[in-house]
């Protein structure tokens, strides 16, 4: 947190100058034994703590301190221990006294890419815990820190929660460096700023805040830093912890921070002017601000051609709406307004419901709750059993419930449609929010019929309209919004038509395509259709031609 506070204040200072901060002391002593004792007192007793003493160049007493679980011991042996323990006659230029020894070791002896020297005793324990090796020499009030960190983690893998048909297959892993590398690999821009600092008084998890300096709104970046800086907790285990500390409205069922496992999605968000937060140890990046709009968009919408992308997006929206309203509408129509159905259908339904002893509300509630239980169980179980269970659940339980007279066949159909609809929502947390909201809606429908559903809907919509995510209204670009932002809302227009970044993000530079492009060729596309090839090889070539001119 201290680091974040400093970053936050320094960021603010860039805009408006203020007073600098005073550093703290407690320096290393000359005696090796004393220093070692102090260090051990600070670190406590640990099984993987190693203090290896040896004679530096056969002359000076020295100790290497590190955690064996965090470092690459082979490399230590090869690139540090071996040159340092060499006989003095192998080293021509070894200083006679101790004054330049640290300098000599760093410049000539060890073969390590990252490291620094440190005089403050209090700085050593955090560095050791991070995976550094500390070299202490008797009689020298200075320590050499060498980065030997190596932690074996799983390799870059296909993201589990966000599958795509067409698009990159890489997902984040747990290690922050790898994730940042994935980001930098996709966004090779000098504009990408990555602010890293530890968070959590005990876990000291490194948190990275990424944004594009020339695009992102400085107010947004400052606000994100401010909210992170006031987090004061002992541990950040996952990005989800940070999400809960920084969101605008914790009591809302709707997520106001987007999380993603996909570097390409993160890069797209950064390019739009959003801010991403990554945490060491978490394979999820947080993206802020997150709007309702984002929760039914996927990577496929953009990688696939625009007509298909738009149609599928609309299908997804229908699925999302049906996962919320379907059971409630069913209950209210069945129990209050059966006259709304076509007569034949109403007869069929009442025939199916003849043996069911419960009112429609109860019947639907029972089925919905058992469906939720099934869903939760399938997630928690090992993958092989999970598949078996879902078959058992869907086929056997549904069939048996109908046969036993617990539910009517149409109820099973409704519940199944609802569940499938909610699985079509790409964002798991948004899908959960909508799935849970359908229970109060069912209850309202059971009590007040269609009127209850209407009241519930108005409440939900009003809540959505009232929400903000980092100062951006949650329902942007619908309400409030500019027409040009609708190009990427319900439908996704061609990429070359989206010439500017979303206006609700208040970006510094809103141009995505060069402004000089003349008004695009919708007219040609509409008029000429497939015959465009006669006059122009393609519309894009025409566009390029005009742009060059």
Partner 1 sequence: MNATRQITTLRTAAVIGSTIIGVGILSFPRYMAATGGSSAPFVAFSGIVISIACFWLLASLCRRFPRESLFVFSRRLIGKPLSFVFAVLILLIFVLLTGLTARQFGDVATTVLFKKTPIEATVFLMLLICQLSSRRDVIKFTYIHFFYLPLIIGPILFITLISMRNMDLLNLQPVLVMPSAAFWRGAVEASFLFQSSFIIVLLVPFMQKPKQAVRAGVLAIAVAGIIYLLIVVAAIGLFGSEETKLLIYPTLESARSAAVGEGFLERLDAIFIVLWVISVFTTLYSTYYLAACLLQQVFAFRDQRISSTLILPFTFVMAAFPANVFETYTWSLALGAASMILLSVYLFLLWSMYLIRRPRKRGAA
Q: Which stretch binds partner 1 (CB under 8 A): 239-247, 273-281, 339-347, 425-433?
A: 339-347
Identify each DSSP E strand in 185-294 by its residue range: 192-199, 205-212, 258-260, 275-279, 285-288
Select from 126, 480, 533, 537 the one that contacts partner 1 (CB under 8 A).
480
Q: Which stretch binds partner 1 (CB under 8 A): 42-50, 145-153, 247-255, 478-486?
A: 478-486
Question: How far is 392 from 546, CA to CA, in rounded Å?
Answer: 62
Give start and end residues of each alpha helix (H) in 53-130: 73-75, 82-84, 101-104, 124-130
339 binds partner 1 (CB under 8 A): yes
Compare residues 342 and 357 and give the one whose CB is closer to partner 1.
342
Residues in region 431-450 near partner 1 by CB under 8 A: 448-450
CB of 332 vs partner 1, minimal distance in Å: 10
Q: 3-class SS at 134?
A: strand
CB of 459 vs partner 1, minimal distance in Å: 6
Contacts of 468 (CB under 8 A, 6+ apart): 248, 249, 256, 474
Compare residues 378 and 457 and give the one whose CB is closer to partner 1.
457
Question: How far is 233 from 205, CA to CA, in rounded Å?
Answer: 11
306 binds partner 1 (CB under 8 A): no
- Residue 62 contacts residue 53 (beta carbons within 8 Å): yes
Q: Tell me the C-alpha to C-alpha distance, in Å, between residue 417 and each of 65, 162, 377, 454.
A: 61, 21, 19, 21
Q: Which stretch binds partner 1 (CB under 8 A): 171-179, 334-342, 415-423, 532-540?
A: 334-342
Select from 451, 496, 497, 536 the one that contacts partner 1 (CB under 8 A).
451
337 binds partner 1 (CB under 8 A): yes
SS3 for 381-448 is CCHHHHHHHHHHHHHHHHHHHHHCCCCCHHHHHHHHHHHHHHHCCCCHHHHHHHHHHHHHHHHHHHHH
Compare residues 255 and 449 and give the one whose CB is closer to partner 1.
449
Q: Which stretch binds partner 1 (CB under 8 A): 115-123, 236-244, 414-422, 451-459?
A: 451-459
Compare residues 218 and 494 and give the one whose CB is closer to partner 1.
218
Select from 14, 111, 391, 466 the one that contacts partner 1 (CB under 8 A).
466
Between 24 and 53, how does the x/- string for binding to partner 1 read (CB under 8 A)? Answer: ------------------------------
Give start and end residues of each alpha helix (H) in 262-305: 263-272, 299-303
Compare residues 111 and 462 and give the one whose CB is closer to partner 1.
462
Compare residues 67 and 330 and give the one whose CB is closer to partner 1.
330
318 binds partner 1 (CB under 8 A): no
CB of 505 vs partner 1, minimal distance in Å: 10
Question: How far is 335 from 448, CA to CA, in rounded Å?
Answer: 10
479 binds partner 1 (CB under 8 A): yes
478 binds partner 1 (CB under 8 A): yes
Which among 376, 360, 420, 370 is positioned nearest to 396, based on CA atoms? 370
Select from 15, 219, 244, 527 the one that contacts partner 1 (CB under 8 A).
219
Q: 3-class SS at 82?
A: helix
506 binds partner 1 (CB under 8 A): yes
Compare residues 80 and 489 and give the one whose CB is closer to partner 1.
489
Report the 10 Å Cβ neighbour count for 526. 8
Q: Tell me the C-alpha to C-alpha distance, in Å, between residue 157 and each of 173, 208, 263, 387.
A: 7, 21, 12, 22
465 binds partner 1 (CB under 8 A): yes
Compare residues 93 and 483 and give the one whose CB is closer to partner 1.
483
Contacts of 398 (CB under 8 A, 6+ apart): 412, 416
Spell out a b/e string for 345-378, using b for 16 or more CB atoms within 10 Å of the CB, else e: eeeebeebbeebebebbebbbbbbebbbebbeeb
User: Count residues contacting partner 1 (CB under 8 A)?
Assistant: 27
Q: Which residues bind partner 1 (CB under 8 A)?
A: 217, 219, 336-337, 339-340, 342, 448-452, 454-455, 458-459, 461-462, 465-466, 471, 473, 475, 478-480, 506
């Amino acid at each position: 947190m201290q680091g974040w506070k400093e970053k936050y204040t320094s960021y603010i200072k860039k805009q408006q100058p203020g007073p600098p901060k005073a550093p703290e002391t407690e320096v290393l002593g000359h005696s090796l034994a004393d220093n070692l004792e102090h260090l051990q007192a600070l670190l406590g007793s640990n099984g993987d703590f190693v203090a290896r003493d040896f004679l530096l160049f056969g002359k000076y007493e020295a100790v290497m301190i590190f955690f064996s679980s965090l470092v690459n011991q082979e490399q230590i042996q090869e690139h540090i221990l071996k040159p340092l323990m060499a006989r003095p006659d192998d080293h021509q230029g070894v200083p006679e006294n101790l004054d330049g020894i640290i300098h000599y070791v760093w410049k000539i002896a060890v073969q390590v890419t990252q490291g620094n020297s440190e005089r403050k005793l209090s700085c050593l324990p955090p560095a050791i815990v991070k995976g550094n090796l500390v070299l202490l020499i008797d009689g020298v009030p200075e320590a050499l820190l060498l980065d030997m960190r190596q932690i074996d983690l799983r390799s870059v893998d296909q993201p589990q929660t966000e599958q795509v048909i067409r698009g990159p297959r890489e997902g984040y892993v747990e290690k922050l460096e790898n994730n940042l590398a994935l980001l930098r690999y996709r966004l090779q821009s000098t504009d990408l700023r990555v602010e890293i600092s530890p968070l959590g008084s005990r876990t000291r998890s490194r948190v990275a805040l990424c944004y594009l300096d020339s695009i992102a709104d400085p107010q947004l970046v400052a606000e994100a830093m401010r909210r992170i800086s006031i987090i004061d907790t002992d541990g950040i285990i996952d990005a989800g912890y940070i999400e809960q500390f920084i969101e605008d409205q914790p009591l809302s069922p709707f997520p106001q921070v987007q999380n993603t496992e996909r570097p390409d999605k993160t890069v797209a968000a950064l390019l739009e002017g959003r801010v991403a937060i990554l945490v060491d140890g978490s394979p999820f990046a947080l993206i802020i601000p997150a709007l309702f709009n984002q929760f039914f968009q996927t990577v496929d919408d953009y990688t696939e051609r625009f007509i298909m992308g738009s149609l599928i997006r609309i299908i997804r929206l229908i699925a999302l709406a049906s996962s919320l309203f379907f059971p409630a509408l069913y209950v209210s129509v069945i129990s209050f307004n059966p006259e709304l159905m076509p007569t034949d259908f109403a007869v069929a339904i009442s025939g199916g419901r003849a043996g069911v002893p419960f009112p429609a509300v109860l019947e639907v509630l029972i089925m919905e709750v058992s469906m939720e239980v099934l869903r939760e169980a399938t997630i928690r179980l090992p993958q092989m059993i999970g598949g078996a269970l879902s078959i058992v659940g869907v086929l056997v339980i549904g069939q048996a419930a109908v046969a036993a007279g617990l539910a009517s066949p149409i109820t099973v159909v409704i519940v199944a449609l609802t569940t499938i609809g909610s699985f079509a929502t790409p964002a798991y947390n948004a899908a959960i929010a909508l799935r849970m909201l359908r229970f109060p809606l069912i209850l309202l429908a059971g009590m007040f019929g269609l009127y209850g559903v209407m009241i519930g809907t108005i409440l939900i919509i009003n809540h959505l309209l009232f929400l903000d995510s980092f100062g951006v209204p949650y329902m942007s670009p619908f309400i409030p919004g500019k027409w040009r932002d609708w190009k990427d809302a319900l439908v996704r227009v061609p990429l070359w038509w989206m010439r500017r970044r979303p206006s609700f993000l208040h970006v510094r530079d809103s141009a995505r395509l060069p402004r000089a492009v003349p008004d695009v060729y919708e007219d040609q596309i509409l008029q000429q259709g497939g015959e465009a090839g006669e006059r122009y090889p393609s519309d894009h070539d025409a566009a390029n031609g005009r742009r060059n001119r």
